[in-house]
């Protein structure tokens, strides 16, 4: 079963979900796939207003709409998908936030867009499956960049040496920016296992980092191109 947010599930008139290997696009969103904007995610901070189904976006990592019937999604492997919704269900947004996007301010950019039409105090946000600090070891250089450039407690960002906590960074930013509520859906994309009907265990999520490690050991191991999970939301009313 794909992941959902308890917070977003309380909002009428919207459907949402976070994909995994069993359903790259959550089943309840699949009927709307043709309306999804066409975009290229580049780990940037560009937010685009979506004003028509299947809109050509170009390079973008954040999407916002006030129109029902348009599915907004982001592709992720270990990066954060963050889904946004106004509490009355009349505005939605999504961002793709890896370490670059978090450090460079994509969540702040989405907040700026939201505040053009109202206030983040009227919005909620859900952080989806991503690499968790149990597995997300990075270079000391990257740790130092976060400690220097991001105004958050060091222990929150780096709970153990060289391990970043992307979800905690995002949640702290959302709180600083005045969002009404936030929650988390899903687990670590690198290490989470699930059992199938036969009792066999397998990885729940696509993971770029895990796949890279597997390919380093075995060059014949398939890559993940075209197999990233999608997380998204649509207003249906």
Sign of CA dihedral 148, 153, 156, 158: positive
**Extended strands (E) in the chain:** 14-18, 38-40, 47-49, 56-59, 62-65, 72-76, 80-86, 92-97, 123-127, 181-184, 193-195, 201-203, 229-235
| Predicted model pTM | 0.95
Q: What is the mean pLDDT of residues 194-208?
A: 90
What CATH number should be reported for the domain holding residue 79? 3.60.140.10
Residue 3, in any domain of the structure = no
Angstrom distance (rounded) from CA 53 to CA 34: 8
Structural domain including 189 reads 8-218+227-235
What pLDDT is stored for residue 221 in this prediction? 77
Predicted pLDDT of residue 235: 97
Q: Per the domain annotation, does 2 fall within a domain?
A: no
Residue 230, beta-bridge partner list:
75
Decide if 201 is inside a domain: yes
* Cα 4 versus chain centre, distance: 12
Residue 175 within any structural domain of the chain: yes
CA distance 77 to 68: 27
Percent of the chain with pLDDT over 70: 99
Query: Please, are residues 31 and 213 in contact by the beta-carbon 8 Å criterion?
Result: no
Q: Does any domain span residue 174? A: yes
Inside any domain, residue 78: yes
Q: For 88-126, what is each residue's pLDDT tens digit?
A: 999 999 999 999 999 999 999 999 999 999 999 999 999
Instruction: Count structural domains, the chain.
Output: 1
Q: In this structure, is residue 1 part of a structural domain?
A: no
- 206: in domain: yes
Instruction: In whole angstroms, give the CA distance from residue 149 to residue 225.
Output: 32
Distance between first and last Cα of the chain: 25
């Amino acid at each position: 079963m794909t992941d959902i947010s308890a917070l977003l599930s309380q909002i009428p008139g919207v459907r949402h979900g976070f994909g995994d290997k069993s359903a790259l696009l959550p089943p309840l969103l699949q009927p709307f796939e043709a309306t999804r904007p066409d975009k290229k995610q580049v780990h940037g901070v560009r937010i685009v207003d979506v004003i028509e189904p299947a809109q050509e976006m170009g390079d973008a990592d954040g999407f916002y709409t006030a129109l029902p019937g348009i599915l907004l999604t982001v592709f992720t492997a270990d990066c954060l998908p963050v889904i946004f919704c106004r509490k009355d269900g009349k505005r939605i947004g999504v961002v793709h936030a890896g370490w670059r996007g978090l450090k460079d301010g994509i969540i702040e950019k989405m907040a700026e867009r939201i505040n053009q039409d109202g206030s983040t105090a009227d919005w909620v946000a859900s952080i989806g499956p991503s690499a968790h600090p149990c597995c997300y070891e990075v270079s000391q250089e990257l740790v130092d960049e976060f400690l220097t450039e991001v105004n958050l407690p060091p222990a929150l960002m780096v709970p153990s040496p060289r391990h970043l906590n992307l979800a905690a960074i995002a949640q702290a930013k959302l709180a600083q920016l005045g969002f009404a509520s936030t929650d988390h859906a899903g687990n670590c994309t690198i290490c989470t296992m699930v059992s199938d009907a036969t009792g066999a265990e397998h990885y729940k999520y696509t993971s770029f980092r895990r796949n890279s490690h597997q390919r380093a050991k075995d060059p014949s191991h398939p890559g993940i191109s075209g197999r990233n999970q999608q997380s998204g939301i649509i207003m249906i009313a």
